[in-house]
Structure 1
Amino acid sequence: MKAIVVGAGIAGLVTARQLGLAGWDVALLEKSDGPRPDGYMMDFFGPGVDAAERIGLYPRLAAAAYRPDAVEYVDTRGRRTCSLDYGQFSRLAGGNVLSLLRPDMERAALAALADVPAGRVRIRYGARLAGAWNDDDGGVRAAVVGPTGEVLTGDVLVGADGIHSEVRARIFGPERDYLHPLGMRAAAFIAEDPKLASRFRNRFVLTDSIGRMAGIYSLRTDQVAAFLVYRDAGSTDSGPLATSARERLRNEFDGLGSTVDRLLELCPEYPYDDVVAQTIMPVWHRGATVLVGDAGGAVSLLAGQGGSLAIAGGALLGDLLGPASSPDGVSAALGVFEERWRPQVEAAQKAGRRAARSFLPANRVQRLARRWVIRATHLPGVDRLVARQILGQTVK
């Protein structure tokens, strides 16, 4: 059996690995020229942890993880206004929370392909999709951009190519039908600054600001990871904006203090920059084509479970498809995948929409309310309430 997987991000790599282990031949197509270096810090918990342990990926993730002591909110002078104890949050989430940079998660999933017999999974970086089709005989085709106009054939086509999925657009319809922006944009980049790296070691620091938020975390070297989110009227759709990302960020985050000013000086010309959105679809598979990860069920970065769901969804899809040996087997596996996986994605999306309503305070009253809630997290009952808002599930 042959699979074509489009997108060598976390979900695509995990899906390809599981199919390769099951004996499939997998063509993994990625439009980027190599593994992507950009991305933000993510909390890894929930279903992804169980899936990573089951498929043997967890040790690689744990080796790459950071372990912050606290999440701190600071004012424009850098003074702490409130903080969350990270150990307490981890305990409420089951005691198994990892803080990971998105690029590190991708590298761990990429390294795990070494477990697959040689030749089963072939990655092609710099391969852009030119077309995709479901055939009448139950197979699929995918055309790759290039002078030869190469067309690949397979038994299943997996769209794991993110919220702006090309597979989704070609098989299911235009992006505007499925992408639901949450009224914000987010940016992230990594920069080198020994002084900042030393100052913020083992702390994830966020600005206690209105309508925008900048975050910083020190990495193992002299680098820092920056994360910026802001309300934006232009984020009612996912189209390109008139100004460059660096210019827009410098305008939006001016006045948040010397640390943020320094981050803006370090901002590269082309940081990660995109709309904060969810992908909501009535169905994730059509013919022998299926969507996984953000392509079919993006929860948004505010839900805090994107990486977790990418691993769990990719592992489930790969394991269900693995035994299939015919078009009927593929069809049955895709139906079971959607039936089993949709409830978890929809629960996480619901949590993401709740988080969106309070993530960026719109005024001083909302900001003060957030401070009170965070300061009260040491109280029994309140800690569970806050954790439930973050996790999207009942906690013990």
Structure 2
Amino acid sequence: MKNVLISGASIGGPALAYWLRRYGFDVTVVERYRGMRPGGQAIDVRGPALQVMERMGLGEQLRSCNTNMRGMNVVDEDGNEVYRSTEHTLSGGDLSSPDVELLRDDLARMIFDAVEGVEYLFDDTITSIDGTRVTFEKAAPRDFDVIVGADGLHSNVRKLVFGPEQDFISHLGMNLAVFTAPNWLELDHWQTFQQGEIVGGGIMSARANAECRVYMGFNGQVDFDHRDVEAQKQLIAEKFADAKWAWQTALKHMWEAPDFHFDAMAQIRMETWSKGNVVLLGDAGYCGSPLSGQGTSMALVGAYVLAGELRDNPEIAFQRYEEILRPYVTANQDMALKNQANGGAPVEEFADVVNSLTLPTYS
């Protein structure tokens, strides 16, 4: 098992590539996008995932990219403040914790730059998997000992090997768009959220207040093409057509945003994450949804454990990977549902769940 193909170049895929290369594996990463994907929401690295970043030698760099939020407030539909806190934020949680909140693309680039000796096939995708044989849309067919799906909620690898998405996805009744815009509200390391009955979201400053990330969401389940960005923008425009506060200005910036991303809040739950020589990592196998606040951490920890087991226990690596990770994953997914019932705010046992896994040591 020395030749590994990873589908997906966001965070989990490159993190796995890092550890596999460190252990002497030959690694190829295929990514549908033409390069590293820009944008994305602010994400959090917590608990054992912080240890993973330290073991990668990236702890100091991680902390240097912290969003350094000072606090948050909540406003009503007319912009009148109804709540304020300098102790926690909706996006990052307790500001006194050791957790690190940073932008998704900053973390992705950090890990990408740390990986050496990996072949990347950008602007390409897998079209079929037959045992070790993999065919691509553009590259020539090749054989791989191990194939990893780290390609997100709408995983192509999962669909090809395990079956249709509807067999594994559980929608949580909410949808969210994220994009970069100028910091027109002049927020200073601050975030403001507004929630109506149907639509709502928030705006937070980013990159030392040079810009902001805008979150626009709505309740209910809708059918949409997850690759049709213009149709997604139109959907947001329709939902927010009558929204007050800052939303009409946000819509103007949305049409110009180069990094717009939209998706349903959903979870992926599977009885097994592997089949034959194929295994799933991160959101592809066990998406917790943004309501968990743990998607990135689960991907980082999953990558570390999977690589370690492939090196130390190659014959039973997938079995060991699941044995170690599944209780941690299940606890985090269950917590997301509790957070949802709690209006999106972390429940009391959040910290206990975050730290519920003792990270293995691989020599």
TM-score, normalised by the number of residues in structure 2: 0.88
Deviations 1:315-349 (A, max 9, x none): 111122134xxxxx533111100100011111110
Residue number among 263, 281, 305 corresponding to 2:270 in the alignment: 281
Note closer, same or farther for the CA distance 1:239–1:25 as it changes in structure 2 (3 Å cut): closer
Q: Identify the residue that residue 304 of structure 1 maps to in structure 2.
A: 293
> Does residue 250 in structure 1 map to residue 241 in structure 2?
no
The DSSP-based 3-state class of the residue aligned with 1:339 is helix
What are the equivalent positions in structure 2 for 1:31-110 lying under 5 Å apart?
31-86=32-87, 95-110=97-112
Letter in 2 for 1:209: G
Deviations 1:263-321 (A, max 9, x none): 11110367211111101000001111110000000000111111111111111111221
Residue number among 160, 175, 178 corresponding to 1:188 in the alignment: 178
> Does residue 388 in structure 1 map to residue 343 in structure 2?
no
Q: Identify the residue that residue 339 of structure 1 maps to in structure 2.
A: 323
How far off is 1:168 after superposition?
A: 0.7
Residue number among 320, 339, 345 corresponding to 1:355 in the alignment: 339
Deviations 1:342-391 (A, max 9, x none): 1111111001112223437xxxxxxxxxxxxx8xxxxxxxxxx8443587
Q: Identify the residue that residue 152 of structure 2 maps to in structure 1.
A: 162
Note closer, same or farther for the CA distance 1:92–1:276 as it changes in structure 2 (3 Å cut): closer
TM-score, normalised by the number of residues in structure 1: 0.81
How many Å separate the matches in 2 of 1:48 and 1:29? 24
Structure 1 unpaired stretches of 5+: 135-139, 324-328, 361-373, 375-384
Letter in 1 for 2:251: L
Note closer, same or farther for the CA distance 1:393–1:16 as it changes in structure 2 (3 Å cut): closer
RMSD across aligned C-alpha pairs, in angstroms? 2.7
> Does residue 223 in structure 1 map to residue 211 in structure 2?
yes
How many Å separate the matches in 1 of 2:281 and 2:95? 24
How far off is 1:10 after superposition?
A: 0.4
Note closer, same or farther for the CA distance 1:91–1:8 as it changes in structure 2 (3 Å cut): closer
> Does residue 132 in structure 1 map to residue 146 in structure 2?
no
How many Å separate the matches in 1 of 2:130 and 2:16? 20
Taking every aligned residue pair, what percent have the same amino acid on both sides?
27
Moved more, 279-288 or 310-319: 310-319
Contact 1:215–1:226 under 8 Å retained in 2: yes
Note closer, same or farther for the CA distance 1:394–1:126 as it changes in structure 2 (3 Å cut): closer
The DSSP-based 3-state class of the residue aligned with 2:349 is helix
How many residues end up aligned between the 2 structures? Answer: 351
Contact 2:339–2:347 under 8 Å retained in 1: no
The DSSP-based 3-state class of the residue aligned with 1:267 is helix
> Does residue 263 in structure 1 map to residue 260 in structure 2?
no
Contact 1:207–1:256 under 8 Å retained in 2: no
Contact 1:189–1:268 under 8 Å retained in 2: no
Contact 1:3–1:24 under 8 Å retained in 2: yes
Moved more, 255-264 or 66-75: 255-264
The structure number with the bigger radius of gyration is 1
> Does residue 207 in structure 1 map to residue 168 in structure 2?
no
Q: Identify the residue that residue 173 of structure 1 maps to in structure 2.
A: 163
Deviations 1:175-216 (A, max 9, x none): 1111111111111000224x32x2x11112110422332111
Letter in 1 for 2:126: L
Contact 1:355–1:390 under 8 Å retained in 2: no
Contact 2:265–2:289 under 8 Å retained in 1: yes
